[in-house]
């Protein structure tokens, strides 16, 4: 298929990144990090007058060591008083997970300077985690779901989140109505967290039914969902409400992929008298299946509409308008991309966009094309990581691309496959080791940019070593 008009020819560089049998040890840049002290990062250096701080006193801590508190306090004795810095210190103390409340700061003026007192109230530590009322799930399993640890600070918000996680876990295990209660008594103030489980009957799926479907059979739709009866009604088949809701979305997406864009799907859950079994019924309103009235292309310059249309299978003809099919549409997108990739447009992009019309059940299919520049093969560099013994000519001889040829993405894929099958590189001989040979295409602009970055990095690294 010929091009409609001549295009500008730009040479590109092809680099083959090949993992050799002998891989050298990893190397990297060496950086020198300078860590500023917390005081210098927040203290105003321009402040050289005013009252000085004589002493900073922290009270109220029992379990929390003083060095942990001092790490968050930048106000120091002997320095000039800074109100903004002191407020910053208080905010940092508030954010400590071990601290429940901060009182103050209290500032007292003395002949020697200002005495600053900060009083903290520590959080109670978790003394124990107790699970009561559970029968179907073990204590160990539920403790793990809480994400709470004995000896950690007691945070009531974290406890409430743990309650929600336990309930969600019960839902996943087929207990739809299980509720969890946190015992709010004097024990929690002492650090004893008690979860009271109101556990219901575990529920399984007895049957799955479909109503209103004509396009797809029940057997086909059952392959699209996750909610199914267990094997012999014994193994698996747990009734998970959130999974059933996800199945509704899966079925809707399945129908939309075949052009039923107005499809509506609901579900009904029918429980047995003892609550042990559930029948799931999906109610389907398929609606009309959309047909393609017209196919057009937007953004192409190298090829005409007629040339591109020959590669597209999903299109109307003189006899009828085809019904929408997402799988066939995606195959047409691949065909268009392969056309551009085989003629030097290695960075071309093609996207399909259905556009709905006012007429019910009708749409136009538009392929939006970004051709980019057309490239020829320029330099071919062979880079073998770790050195190795393979000569450059051995690799070049296995390439079907030569300098001056139009870049062909299909040939690039074939070359990678041919090099990988040559049994001379570690990536092929050791699938669990080094990577297989890979061809990387770089434009002249990208190559210059990468070389500039490497040069700048080398200069910067050299400067760090000199300092």
The number of distinct structural domains making up the chain is 4
What sign does the dihedral 423-429-431-436 (CA atoms) show?
A: negative
Q: Phi and psi (nearest 5°) for 188?
A: -70, -30
- Do residues 299 and 385 share a domain? yes
Chosen domain end from 122, 139, 171: 122
pLDDT at 41: 34
What's the mean per-residue pLDDT of the chain?
83
Encoding tokens for residue 256? 């939309």
* Inside any domain, residue 239: yes
**pLDDT classification of 401: cutoffs 50, 70, 90:** confident
Q: Measured in whole angstroms, how far is the alpha carbon of residue 310 from the centre of its chain?
A: 38
* Inside any domain, residue 32: no
Give the ranges where 281-421 is alpha helix by DSSP (H).
305-309, 326-342, 392-396, 409-420
**137-153 confidence digits (pLDDT tens):** 999 999 999 999 998 99
- Do residues 304 and 431 share a domain? yes
Chosen domain end from 174, 198, 222: 198
- Do residues 316 and 379 share a domain? yes
Percent of the chain with pLDDT over 70: 80
Domain housing 154: 128-198
Q: Which of 162, 191, 172, 175 is nearest to 134 (CA)?
A: 175
Q: Is the pLDDT of residue 32 over 90?
A: no
- Do residues 330 and 401 share a domain? yes
- Do residues 388 and 307 share a domain? yes
DSSP 27: -
- Do residues 60 and 144 share a domain? no
* Inside any domain, residue 41: no
Chosen domain end from 167, 198, 229: 198
**404-434 confidence digits (pLDDT tens):** 888 888 888 888 888 877 766 654 444 444 5
- Do residues 229 and 138 share a domain? no
* Inside any domain, residue 449: yes
- Do residues 114 and 160 share a domain? no
- Do residues 173 and 114 share a domain? no
Higher-confidence residue of 315 and 388: namely 315
* Inside any domain, residue 35: no
CATH number for 220? 3.10.20.310
* Inside any domain, residue 76: yes
- Do residues 348 and 453 share a domain? yes
- Do residues 296 and 212 share a domain? no
* Inside any domain, residue 354: yes
If one counts every other C-beta atom within 10 angstroms of the C-beta of residue 212, the result is 13
* Inside any domain, residue 44: no
- Do residues 349 and 435 share a domain? yes
């Amino acid at each position: 298929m010929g091009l409609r008009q001549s295009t500008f020819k730009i040479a590109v560089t092809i680099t083959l990144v090949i993992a050799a049998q002998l891989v050298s040890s990893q190397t990297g840049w060496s950086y020198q990090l300078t860590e500023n002290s917390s005081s210098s990062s927040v203290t105003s250096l321009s402040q050289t007058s005013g009252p000085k701080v004589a002493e900073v006193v922290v009270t109220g801590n029992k379990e929390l060591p003083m060095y942990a508190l001092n790490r968050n306090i930048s106000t120091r004795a002997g320095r000039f008083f800074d109100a903004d810095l002191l407020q910053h210190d208080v905010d940092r103390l508030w954010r400590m997970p071990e601290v429940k409340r901060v009182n103050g700061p209290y500032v007292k003026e003395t002949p020697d300077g200002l005495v600053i007192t900060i009083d903290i109230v520590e959080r109670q530590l978790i003394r124990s985690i107790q699970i009561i009322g559970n029968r179907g799930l073990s204590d160990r399993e539920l403790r793990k779901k809480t994400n709470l640890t004995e000896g950690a600070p007691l945070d009531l918000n974290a406890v409430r989140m743990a309650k929600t996680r336990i309930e969600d876990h019960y839902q996943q295990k087929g207990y739809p109505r299980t509720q969890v209660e946190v015992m709010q008594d004097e024990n929690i103030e002492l650090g004893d967290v008690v979860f009271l489980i109101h556990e219901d009957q575990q529920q399984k799926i007895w049957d799955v039914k479909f109503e209103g479907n004509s396009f797809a059979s029940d057997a086909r739709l059952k392959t699209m969902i996750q909610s199914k009866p267990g094997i012999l009604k014994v193994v698996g088949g747990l009734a998970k409400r959130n999974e059933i809701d996800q199945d509704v979305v899966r079925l809707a997406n399945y129908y939309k992929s075949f052009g039923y864009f107005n499809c509506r799907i609901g579900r009904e859950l029918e429980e047995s008298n003892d609550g042990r079994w559930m029948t799931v019924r999906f109610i389907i309103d398929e609606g009309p299946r959309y047909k393609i009235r017209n196919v057009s292309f937007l953004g192409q310059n190298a090829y005409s509409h007629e040339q591109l249309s020959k590669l597209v299978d999903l299109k109307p003809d003189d006899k009828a308008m085809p019904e929408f099919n997402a799988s066939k549409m995606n195959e047409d997108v691949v065909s268009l991309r392969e056309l551009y990739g085989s003629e030097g447009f290695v960075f071309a992009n093609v996207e399909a966009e259905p556009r709905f019309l006012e007429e019910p059940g009708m749409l136009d299919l538009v392929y939006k094309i970004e051709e980019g520049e057309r490239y020829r093969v320029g330099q071919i560099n062979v880079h073998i990581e770790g050195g190795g013994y393979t000569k450059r000519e051995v690799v070049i001889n296995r390439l079907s691309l030569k300098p001056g040829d139009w870049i062909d993405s299909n040939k690039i894929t074939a070359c990678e496959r041919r090099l990988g099958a040559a049994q001379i590189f570690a990536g092929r001989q050791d699938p669990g080791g080094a990577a297989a040979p890979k061809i990387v295409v770089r434009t002249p602009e990208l190559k210059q940019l990468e070389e500039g970055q490497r040069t700048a990095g080398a200069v910067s690294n050299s400067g760090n070593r000199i300092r």
